[in-house]
Amino acid sequence: MSRGNKRDIDRARAQKRQEANGKGKNADGLTPEQRRERDAKALAEKIAKKEGAGAK
């Protein structure tokens, strides 16, 4: 009872799934440095907003 090429087919399917999952990972197209700058700016705005709300 051999499985034939099922192992190869399953391997190909698993690789397709991995590629599909990995596509959304870096969809913004930014370099790590650009991403850090963007995140730092967003964090600074969040902190400023929080401090402004706390002063009321």
- Residue 23: its pLDDT value, please? 61
| Helices and strands (DSSP H and E) totals, the chain | 2, 0
The answer to whether 29 touches 35, Cβ cutoff 8 Å, is no
Q: Is the pTM of this model over 0.75?
A: no
- Residue 46: its pLDDT value, please? 95
Q: What are the pLDDT tens digits along the chain (56 aa)?
A: 566 799 999 999 999 998 877 665 666 778 889 999 999 999 999 999 999 887 65
- Residue 11: its pLDDT value, please? 94
- Residue 54: its pLDDT value, please? 73
CA distance linking residue 26 with residue 12, whole number of Å: 23
- Residue 47: its pLDDT value, please? 94
The answer to whether 38 touches 30, Cβ cutoff 8 Å, is yes
